[in-house]
Amino acid sequence: MASGFFAILDDIAALMDDVAVTSKIATKQTAGILGDDLAVNAEKATGFLSSREIPVLLAIMKGSFINKLIILPIAFFLQWLYPPAIKIILVFGGLYLAYEGVEKIIEYLFHKQKKGEEVIEEKQDDPNLEKTKIKSAIMTDFILSIEIVIIALGTALQESLTIQIITVSIVAILATVGVYGIVALIVRMDDAGYGLIRKSKNKGFLKTLGEFLVKALPWVIKGLGVIGTVALILVAGGIFDHNIDFLHHLLPNIPAMLKQALYGIVAGLMMIPMFMVFKKIFASFKKA
């Protein structure tokens, strides 16, 4: 009886060892997309009134967990039933990411930039703005989560189904907690800075550090906005490059990053008029 118990423990230890090794490889493979995920979601979670930043972030994080709960079983099922379906879903997701990235560039280049006071007034006057931005963030997270899950699954295809499920689940949880934990730290930089200034009694290193955090936050947010937009386009272009053979072998002499940026921009420009038509049709249905 005792020998059977220890044999079970030995099997569990071996399983955990295999999971640890596979999870380490999967995490390395997804590191790039996690960086893009951080940049995109940090940009999505900023721009709210201070009192609403954490509630909004928690709402997006909850949506991210739900996304992964939906994606994980579907990914395993499709991998078993029809593996090419994964690539098709990724390509459609890439089109949406490309649209979002190019739309931000067009918005910046051709639309009037609002000053801080106007933005705050709009936030306070428009109760639907917060819900709209949360929905947009969750939709973007859904597509990025698909890629994270697929890349993690791809590193564990040679392992047993049990190891695949545990490995991909661990990566999905770490991705969500890690990304949104860092985002939470970023959006509260100014509060941390003000706290340090109060504790310093307006003198010494703490005061300097606090002032730096307060002054740095607007620049960090602007930087994340730029990085997040670039990340959307590069992730989209990477999806096309890695999952469409014709595009993968096209332009072989151009650096991969430049080629992926080109694919992302072209796809986004193609999707802009399509989404405009779709929005008009949807708006007409809502009025009817």
46 lies in which domain range?
2-287
C-alpha pair distances (Å), 149 with each of 87, 105, 223: 12, 28, 27
Query: Do 214 and 230 touch, CB atoms closer than 8 A?
Result: no
Sole residue written with tokens 């893009």: 36
Give residue 265's pLDDT band: very low, low, confident or very high (50, 70, 90). very high
pLDDT value of residue 157: 64
Q: Tell me: the pLDDT tens digits for 182-221?
A: 777 777 777 788 788 888 777 777 788 888 888 887 787 7
* Domain count for the chain: 1
pTM higher than the cut 0.75: no
Q: Is 111 helix (H, G, I), strand (E, B) or coil?
A: coil
Q: Is the pLDDT of residue 125 over 50?
A: no
Q: For residue 91, what are its two tokens?
A: 């390509």
